[in-house]
Amino acid sequence: MKRLLPRTLRSQLTAGLVALLALVCVAVGVTTVVALDGFLVRRLDQQLAASAGRFAVSLEHEARPDADNRPDTRGQSEGTFGARLLRGTPTQAAVVRRQTDATVLLTATDRRALAGLPTDGTGHGICLSALGRYRVNAVVGDDGDVLITGLPLHPVEETVHRLEAVETAVFGGALVVTGVLGALWVRLSLRPLRRVTATAASVAELPLASGEVAMPAPVPVADPRTEVGQVGTALNRLLGHVGNALERRQASEERLRHFAADASHELRTPVANVRGHAELALRHKGPVPGEVRRALDRIQSESERMSRLVDDLLLLARIDAGRALERKPVDLTRLVLDATDDARAAGPDHRWLLDLPQTAVTVAGDEHRLHQVIGNLLANARTHTPAGTEVTVQLVSGEQGTRLTVSDDGPGIPEELRPEVFGRFVRADHSRSRTAGSTGLGLAIVQAVVIAHGGTVTVTSRPGGTTFEVTFPPDPSDAG
């Protein structure tokens, strides 16, 4: 039932207009038909009253010796019915046929209907088996009998039916014409609303989440006093607010991006100096107190971790700035093998499985960054799963591109963390501890590098399993 109802505003307005007109047509048609039927019936009653029952009176006296034994049909219209009842029983019944009369055979039902007529001289409807529907009146005769005179209702019914047919045709045509013209008028009236809808749809398709966004032009508003004009004005104000907010956000992101790039670049030298001095102090040949050696070891470890953090921040800043990565053929199979060997050495308590094709898989990209993507995914699986977890690396290549998946049977990613798993400085425990060595940038780098290569990365997780899937598009140079 819902599928049959109009859904668009244009169809609803058109359907409503046609429905209202149909109700008006029905009301007018019913009123005119009822009025015409009542008028014609009253005319019959007047004719019956004007005839003074001459035909029925001739039936009353047709048995007199001085009469010619024929009813008086003078001045009677064809189809006039007359009957005489004596003590409730019809004795005579005839109808005028072409200026003469014809006896009518009455059934038992007809006799009961005639006997039940009130003798008030007013018109009443009756249906005779042999003649059809009649309008009759009954009066008391001179001899105490009842004289009934009637006129057929067929002309009235025929006129009413003709009027019904004419009204049906006229009103039907009016509904069709009104529907077509109304649809065109509604369509023309809603053109500004369609422009508003088109503008809103174009804004909805814009990448508002990140990057610089060019907002569409404001919607032209012809008359702000109309409902459509008010909607257009409100949308223009909304677009203005959104555009200002996006410009401020973009400027803030640019400043933050420049700051991260500058800070990372400036920190590389002092961090390298700290590492160098720590290594030099540890190579000192003289006796070094144990507490000093432990402090130097911590300085060296933290400086190495800080160097990695600075390098990651600088990489993200360069990718955010649109710095193009190197594009050359890379043997992805060899990178998977090397990264898995490194992960196996770093996590010997995990089970590392490989599912690789028979032939080498080659993609176009930056070899160092792709190796970093695979290493970060394996490090993420090793860091956030307990000992004994099975990690499977699968590589598939086809016409649709290259797909790399890293799956584990660990506890899975918490549900509240999944939407922001690729965010920067996102950690599973949300703590500021550095004991695990995680900076919260590993998966953010994975996403940034994959997107820079034109690919996509997704994650699916549930208790008992997590899968990261990286897809690279096919290389156009390999089409042959």
On the 0-12 / 13-18 / 19+ scale of CB atoms within 10 A, 324 is exposed
Instruction: Output the pLDDT for position 63.
Output: 47
What is the domain class of 206-323 according to CATH?
Answer: mainly alpha
Give the pLDDT band (50/70/90) at residue 1: very low
Tokens representing residue 410 in the block: 């660990």
Numbered ranges of CATH 3.30.450 in the chain:
57-152
Residue 471 has pLDDT above 90, yes or no: yes
On the 0-12 / 13-18 / 19+ scale of CB atoms within 10 A, 79 is middle
Instruction: Output the pLDDT for position 433.
Output: 41
DSSP codes, 361-399:
-EEEE-HHHHHHHHHHHHHHHHHTS-TT-EEEEEEEEET
Q: Which helix (H) or strand (E) holds 392?
A: strand 390-398
pLDDT, tens digit, for every residue of 195-224? 777 777 777 777 666 666 677 777 777 677
Tokens representing residue 177 in the block: 């014409």
Classify domain 328-478 at the CATH topology level: Heat Shock Protein 90 (3.30.565)
Residue 429 has pLDDT above 70, yes or no: no
Mode of pairing for the β-strands spanning 100-103 and 89-97: antiparallel
Instruction: Output the pLDDT for position 211.
Output: 61
Query: SS3 helix, strand, coil % of the chain, rounded to 5?
Result: 50, 20, 30
Instruction: Output the pLDDT for position 64.
Output: 47
Q: Which helix (H) or strand (E) holds 393?
A: strand 390-398
Numbered ranges of CATH 3.30.565.10 in the chain:
328-478
More confident residue, 60 or 403: 403
pLDDT, tens digit, for every residue of 154-171? 889 899 999 999 999 999
The CATH architecture assigned to 57-152 reads 2-Layer Sandwich (3.30)
Residue 327 has pLDDT above 90, yes or no: no
Other C-beta atoms within 10 Å of 270: how many?
A: 12
Residue 351 has pLDDT above 80, yes or no: yes
* DSSP character at residue 172: H
Residue 432 has pLDDT above 50, yes or no: no
Instruction: Output the pLDDT for position 61.
Output: 58
Residue 305 has pLDDT above 90, yes or no: no
Give every CB contact of residue 139 below 8 A, 6+ residues apart in sequence: 53, 56, 119, 121, 146, 147
Question: Residue range 439-454: average pLDDT?
Answer: 85
CA distance 374 to 405: 10
Instruction: Output the pLDDT for position 99.
Output: 54
pLDDT, tens digit, for every residue of 52-85? 667 777 766 554 444 445 566 666 778 888 888 8
Numbered ranges of CATH 1.10.287 in the chain:
206-323
Give the pLDDT band (50/70/90) at residue 431: very low
Please give the radius of gyration of the chain, using alpha carbons only, rounded to the nearest integer. 50
